[in-house]
Chain A
């Protein structure tokens, strides 16, 4: 009888769960009434704000904001100034705001431009606010209202959108807003003194020529990389992420640098070069208000089922955020990407978040601990751990290097947690794999490094996990996608863009639990570990639709900065991989620093913008050069921008590690690399010493493969990264080598001759 009652209770619970859950799937959002003010408040053309340097005006004829540099007289405008002078209007150029919205009825995403949807139909009102203007755009057709503020500041103009003031009736849903798309723009030109700057990888330029009929190039990417909590269906190769919230435009001796000051993690930076329709090239920020997930969906067709990609947008957005971009005019010699780097560095210094000057060692050694492998015991499958470098062996390697070299390395222990280089529990279980040696050996290694003055970091992954433990459950503590599904993923097969189903699924930790993970890390590291490496926290930006604050990657920068600060406060120096701006500025060093722009078709040139911002403040280390195809070439590419080389090493590499496709092990055996490391460091250490603490201030390509870099302490290095000897000025530089010291390069003429060996 009692059993029956339990059965009944279970039945009731099940039924009630069904009743609660089922309607959730078919709810329709209520539609609020959308109202547009009967009369629009407008103002006449007038000076809105002015200071010693700049004057901000509103033009009621052309409905645009004009920013005049009082010293140079140059005017930047939300409507490109040359076009403004012509007195013409254009749907794109005359729009200070673009929006994208989702139409739930048709399941489509469409765009609307402020000029054609609002200004032309008198659906814009203007309100004066402190130091500037607020423009209200009423997109009546789609029932969305967006305010856009412009404020003049001492050295810049800020354009911002306050999400709390956005109104939507529910007819459509606002997906993204593009702020002042043509403020950072220039007329198309074949001249190379006009370009757009985008922070892709180390930095990228897009030239603005439009000779090619019918082709305008639009490059668009999410800042800090694609949302890791989103399923990606079209993958071709690892993306090179945008790491810094800076973009800009240069036209001759004038330039405009834009810094995304708020909401950077939700931003995309888009560059459109050579638009032949309106004759302009522009770079701008678009802010994602709502995030999305991707899915393959069946399309309505007659006959065979046809599938297509669809974006599934989140229903809600975080209304507590503000998106803002600061525009900093540049003139004269400052009008270049180097000038932008300087502006951004100054901005970071003013904000007080740029790390103090760190010591950059001549080289870095990443030591691989081990990995998990699948094996069997008496026919029963199990998981084992293969040690590639024990603590003792690590110490032996470092001792050997110390004996052979005077320069000291920066050292990182990677894959020393319970599952080695494989993703396991959060923070590698906050324990070392027992196969790597005892706690005493680990302490010995720490003590040795301290005694020798070698900065030692131990790497922890507090973002990804595939096993439950330490209070984090893969089932319950995984972030959610915009589609309200757990953000699990599996790595691709090595040879195909298909999921490797033989490995455990990997989850991204709930964003709200990141502080908990970091606190556990601090506890574990206390009195045990000196430096902490966070290879994923500084590199992966992701959304979590468990908490509205974290929708569309929201607050990623702020949250990580807060977490890194707590680690620093515990007295641990930090190193991060790749180095998204928010992490790099707080870290003592960054490794796997991008050295190029990722080789995207749409980008024209790679520039060392990243290095210009951080060199001299944060120690910069390259990707492991011993794993690259051409060791020497990568070394010189890093050296030319003041980045020290990294070597990925292990003591030994078991056959099973290679058979089970553990990527980094194949070329990392110390014995195989030792002599070349010694040779390389011997050759370059003096140069790195000479630029200790110096900023990279100038970088010039003298000819293809030959570059010259100048550092703030006056050191100049000329690198010949070609297969032939080149003669620059009065100096001959051998193939694949570098020389330091000034070389006079004649201006205007051919910078040098080259001679193929």
Chain B
């Protein structure tokens, strides 16, 4: 009855408490970066590396004619800024950001060319302007006043596919005069022209991301599809490049805009052969191609129930090799180093910015001297960003660290820490410096703070070596004594039949590890199994699992207190044992198994003993290993799993009186039964959730 009362009370409360709602929110401000922390990367605030110092409103420049919006922007070496605006016009701003001249490209005979729909502008080192006249399928090379010097059209070459449509949208040129042209809709890569203007071929296309699943899918399609079906199948094509940039060493950097699914590999650095050589180096020191690295945000946000996806549309590289990528959708500018380490993110606006430093539709960026110019097509503005003192120190420090000048970088990193006490790059940089200077203890501390597993492991090795060298005189005899002591104790206990554990059930449980057949038979036939002990082991399985997750060294756990889920921990330990026991008992009841539920639970619980021992041992061990990929812990884990498996098999065979093949068969059915139970639980959960939504909808 009490339950009924409670249910009624809850329902009454529901009726009265349906004023749930949401209201005012705060918003994003300032620069941020990502930090390796427990449980993965965290987004954290940091001092500004760049700050907006001025905004140029194109409306205030006194233009001769109206225009729609900025399409692209480029700056030359002497400080002029070239704006390509719709419809087809170029506005040139001088160093003082005053309108110097405006022009529509003109042919040699003086006729103005229609370049409406042109999407890109580029200034070459020799002052020539390249306008990507997208809609007219040509690239115009002009002088500084818009006089067309050359028209570059679709090349006549066998290399050009018959269905190729030439819609140039971006152009770049290297120091040798090779011209790279990106064509809208082309997934073959950039069109490369040699200094003589001859087409040399396609350069550096994106590749299609594949996975085991897609490979299997393709294999399946090959086997089962006929030609008609195959013809109707959509082809998966690589994403096209949106922008490219050639650095002073003639390396080509590209960015890919919106990609479907998990966006990865938005930035690439291409070798002369066109392959991606940009590598992401993780905190463990492992390097992998940037193709699988997400340069943007892990999460997306919704606007009017639609996911707003990031769209990298501009890429730049500065003199120190830092890569700048502009995300048009969020208005964010990312700065990465050559190892894909995020230095900072600034900007913002997320499509609706109206204040200095944020954007509504940031379409292009370029360096103008030491300033970073960002054009906003939504507001028709250019925002000028200047690097802050902090930013300069940070980039200088990282630059030196990447050049392995760790000691030189030290004062810079110390300066960085004054303004940003938690700066992880500084901690890592200083850890490296401390390591090369031989201060391993400091390197250990700093690399732990900086979550640099690689330096931490090396420093730990050195500290351990130092310790052993220093204390070898007493350490060695101590170990010998310990080993001898244990051996003597074992021999004595055997000779004198010393019983260390007097409780028979407990002894039986502990003995299951070494003598599973004998002990499980005693459990079955002498009824010496203990339910409380099985419960304790199951609880210990959960507890040691939780402790292993929360207390292990940072290299061995992904524990994050902010997202740690106790329910999940319970489900994967206690829940698993209970579910297995129930499912196995249910299945074996149908498969002539003789074991009772209690016995199944005892066997399953006892079988977790090796896992409990492993989980306890692994905690101190995680602090002692030098490399995060050390084999000791993983080997121990494998041994524990195998032991647990053997115990479980033997135990179940014993209590159910099964042969091994029958056990395997029942085990498979048990797993299926478990899945069924989970499915039913899931369905019940869904129903409750929908019922709740129904109630909320009715009363709201």
Contacts and interface: CB of A to CB of B under 8 A. Distances in A.
B37 interface: yes
B316 to A, nearest CB: 21
A624 to B, nearest CB: 12
A659 interface: yes
A321 B75 CA distance: 57
B561 A381 contact: yes
Interface stretch (B45-53, B629-637, B667-675): B45-53
Interface stretch (A120-128, A143-151, A211-219, A452-460): A211-219
Given A17-B16, A308-B304, A492-B26, A672 B418 contact: yes
Contacts of B51: 629-630
Interface in A288-315: 293, 296, 305-309
B405 interface: no
Contact of A487 (B21, B62, B66, B421): B21
A373 B564 CA distance: 13
A672 B12 contact: no
Contact of B42 (A492, A496, A505, A661): A661
A232 B24 contact: yes
Interface string A226-264: 111111101111101000000000000000000000000
Interface in B571-621: none
B27 A235 contact: yes
Contact of B24 (A14, A229, A497, A673): A229
A659 to B, nearest CB: 4
B228 interface: no
Contacts of B9: 10
Contact of A655 (B299, B358, B360, B422): B422
Interface in B332-386: 332, 345, 348-358, 360, 379, 381
Nearest to A599: B356
A546 to B, nearest CB: 10
Interface in B2-54: 4-5, 8-9, 11-12, 15-17, 19-29, 32, 35, 37-38, 42-48, 51-52
A653 B19 contact: no
Contact of A486 (B20, B26, B66, B348): B20
- Of the candidates B300, B418, B559, the one having the most CB atoms from chain A within 10 angstroms of its own CB is B418
Contacts of A26: none
Interface stretch (A403-411, A515-523, A663-671): A663-671
B94 interface: no
A6 B2 CA distance: 10
B304 A307 contact: yes
A236 B48 contact: no
A628 B562 CA distance: 28
Nearest to B24: A228
A220 B243 CA distance: 38
B420 interface: yes
Nearest to A229: B23
Given A378-B546, A492-B27, A492-B28, A17 B15 contact: yes
B27 A489 contact: no
B379 A601 contact: yes
Given A3-B1, A381-B564, A508 B57 contact: no
A481 interface: yes
A629 B47 contact: yes
B207 interface: no
Interface in B254-310: 297, 299-302, 304-306
Interface string A648-681: 0000010111111101011111001100000000
B42 A659 contact: yes
B61 to A, nearest CB: 10
- Of the candidates A6, A240, A381, A483, the one having the most CB atoms from chain B within 10 angstroms of its own CB is A381
B421 A672 contact: yes
A658 B26 contact: no
- Contact residues on A (Cβ < 8 Å of other chain), bracket: 35 or more
A374 B550 CA distance: 12
B679 interface: no
Given A308-B304, A379-B546, A666-B421, A630 B388 contact: yes
B569 interface: yes
A10 B12 contact: yes
Contact of B349 (A10, A237, A496, A542): A237
A658 B35 contact: yes
Contacts of A666: 44-47, 420-423
Contacts of A483: 21
B563 interface: yes
B25 A231 contact: yes
A600 B354 contact: yes
B561 A489 contact: no
Contact of B66 (A213, A308, A379, A661): A213
B420 A497 contact: no
A744 B390 CA distance: 36
Contacts of B297: 495-496
Contacts of B20: 485-486, 488
Contacts of A85: none
- Of the candidates A231, A232, A236, A661, the one having the most CB atoms from chain B within 10 angstroms of its own CB is A236
Contact of B355 (A237, A486, A629): A237
A113 to B, nearest CB: 27
Interface string B531-562: 00000000000110111011000000001011
A457 B299 CA distance: 40
Given A236-B355, A494-B43, A496-B28, A487 B566 contact: no
Contacts of B136: none
Interface in A187-237: 211-215, 226-232, 234-237
A711 B451 CA distance: 53
B345 A495 contact: yes
Contacts of A10: 4-5, 8-9, 11-12
A159 B545 CA distance: 72
Interface in A368-382: 373-376, 378-381
Given A307-B304, A496-B297, A659-B44, A237 B4 contact: no
A494 B23 contact: no
Contact of A489 (B12, B23, B57): B23
Contacts of B351: 236
A653 B422 contact: yes
Interface string A15-27: 0011001000000
A491 interface: yes
Nearest to B5: A6
A18 B12 CA distance: 10
A490 B25 CA distance: 6
B232 to A, nearest CB: 24
- Of the candidates A489, A542, A653, the one having the most CB atoms from chain B within 10 angstroms of its own CB is A489
Nearest to B44: A661
Given A381-B564, A659-B42, A667-B421, A376 B15 contact: no
Nearest to A491: B26
A461 to B, nearest CB: 14
B654 interface: no
5 contacts: A10-B8, A236-B360, A379-B569, A667-B421, A672-B421
Given A494-B44, A666-B44, 17 more contacts: A14-B8, A236-B355, A237-B353, A237-B358, A374-B561, A379-B542, A380-B566, A485-B21, A485-B22, A486-B23, A496-B297, A498-B299, A498-B301, A629-B47, A659-B38, A660-B562, A667-B47
Give 3 nearest A-B pairs by CB, closest first: A379-B546, A485-B21, A599-B356
